[in-house]
């Protein structure tokens, strides 16, 4: 077979309807499992008091997931899995060494790198995006190879690929959730507990994680210096409607440890009073004992918007 014929055959085979179905079904099946695994790995992380986001996300997934997953799976197959399979088919046909599926797996990295370069132009990390993109195509590529061998053995296209993939995904999701519940009950996965910091540990200079112009200085004698910290300013317009906006505070005041809060129960906070900075500011303690954090939030108490997070310096 000449190179031109091999290229034409590779293109037709790699983009066939059966391969598109196999790749799309495998990608759609792995997404819920990957999401549950990622959620399980964050059970011990600080949620910064956002208690309602997980439940809302679960309800949205149950309502819209069955309709969106096939679309996402087919899109993933078209932009990643099948291009890698096409390159792998060409490589196997030209060099004749190694199975086609191995070539396709190897070609996932350059295809993932190409998409990572596009996202890197928008600010995403290149290496991490490329690796995750390539990893997301491993299972679909292997599933395409498996379905192809089955079709050759049976002499006909496979039926019920989507149904079998959906049932497999459901079984794996139940297994992962059961394992997460068991690990939580036995203490293998521990619920996040904020550090209990003393006055001496809280005293010092705290700077914004994303904006170092935000500075909160807590002195051991109870005095506080606020430089660029936010506060919510409420006013009225000519029509009598109330509106709020965030302003920057530059003032001095006092601070104390506030351990009794209804908004975020069981979480200590630092109460800061400064003239000209609106109502009392409550900086909630987060992070870990080795790397403590303070954050202030605004909005819905059940799902607050984190506006400023500061870390201790010095």
Q: What is the DSSP letter of 191?
A: P
Give SS3 for 96: coil
Q: What is the dihedral of CA 164, 170, 176, 177, to 10 degrees?
A: -170
Place of tokens 């987060």: 286
* Residue that the structure tokens 């705290």 belong to: 206
Q: What global pTM score does this model have?
A: 0.69
- CA separation for the pair 252, 216 (Å, rounded): 10
What's the CA angle centered on 120, arms 117 and 125, to 5 degrees? Answer: 115
Q: Alpha-carbon dihedral of residues 92, 96, 98, 104, nearest 10 degrees? A: 0
Please state at what angle helix 138-154 crosses helix 82-95, rounded to 10 degrees. 60
Q: Are strands 242-258 and 269-274 parallel, antiparallel or unpaired?
A: antiparallel
Q: Report H helices in the chain.
A: 3-14, 17-41, 53-76, 82-95, 100-120, 126-136, 138-154, 161-186, 199-202
Among residues 278, 304, 287, 261, the alpha carbon closest in space to that of 202 is found at: 287
pLDDT (tens digit, 0 to 9) for every residue of the chain, 314 residues total?
333 443 444 444 566 788 899 999 999 999 999 988 888 887 777 777 665 555 566 667 767 777 889 999 999 999 999 999 999 988 888 877 788 899 999 999 999 999 999 999 998 899 999 999 999 999 999 999 999 898 888 888 788 899 999 999 999 989 998 998 898 888 888 878 888 888 888 999 999 887 778 899 999 999 999 888 887 765 444 443 334 466 788 889 999 988 665 555 567 888 998 887 877 788 888 888 888 999 887 665 555 566 677 787 65
């Amino acid at each position: 077979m000449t190179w031109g014929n091999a290229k034409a055959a590779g293109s037709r085979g790699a983009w066939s309807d059966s391969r598109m179905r196999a790749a799309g079904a495998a990608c759609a099946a792995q997404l819920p499992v990957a999401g549950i695994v990622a959620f399980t790995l964050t059970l011990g992380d600080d949620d910064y008091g956002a208690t309602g986001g997980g439940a809302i996300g679960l309800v949205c997934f149950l309502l819209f997931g069955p309709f969106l997953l096939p679309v996402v799976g087919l899109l993933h197959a078209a932009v990643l899995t099948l291009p890698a399979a096409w390159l792998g088919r060409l490589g196997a046909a030209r060099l004749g060494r190694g199975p086609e599926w191995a070539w396709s797996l190897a070609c996932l990295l350059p295809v993932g790198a190409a998409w990572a370069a596009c996202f890197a132009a928008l600010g995403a990390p290149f290496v991490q995006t490329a690796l995750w993109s390539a990893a997301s195509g491993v299972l679909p590529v292997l599933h395409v190879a498996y379905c192809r061998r089955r079709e050759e053995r049976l002499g006909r296209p496979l039926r019920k690929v989507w149904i079998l993939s959906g049932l497999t995904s459901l079984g794996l999701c139940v297994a992962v959730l059961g394992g997460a519940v068991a690990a939580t009950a036995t203490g293998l996965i521990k619920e996040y507990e904020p550090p209990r910091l003393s006055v001496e540990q809280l005293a010092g200079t705290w700077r914004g994680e994303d904006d170092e112009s935000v500075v909160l200085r807590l002195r051991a004698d109870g005095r506080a210096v606020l430089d660029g910290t936010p506060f919510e300013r409420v006013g009225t317009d000519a029509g009598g409607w109330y509106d709020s906006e965030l302003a920057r505070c530059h003032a001095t005041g006092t601070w104390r440890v506030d351990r009794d809060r209804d908004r975020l129960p069981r979480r200590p906070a630092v109460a800061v009073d400064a003239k000209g900075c609106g109502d009392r500011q409550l900086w909630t303690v987060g992070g870990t004992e080795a790397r403590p954090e303070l954050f202030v939030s605004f909005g819905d108490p059940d799902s607050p918007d984190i506006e400023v997070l500061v870390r201790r310096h010095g």
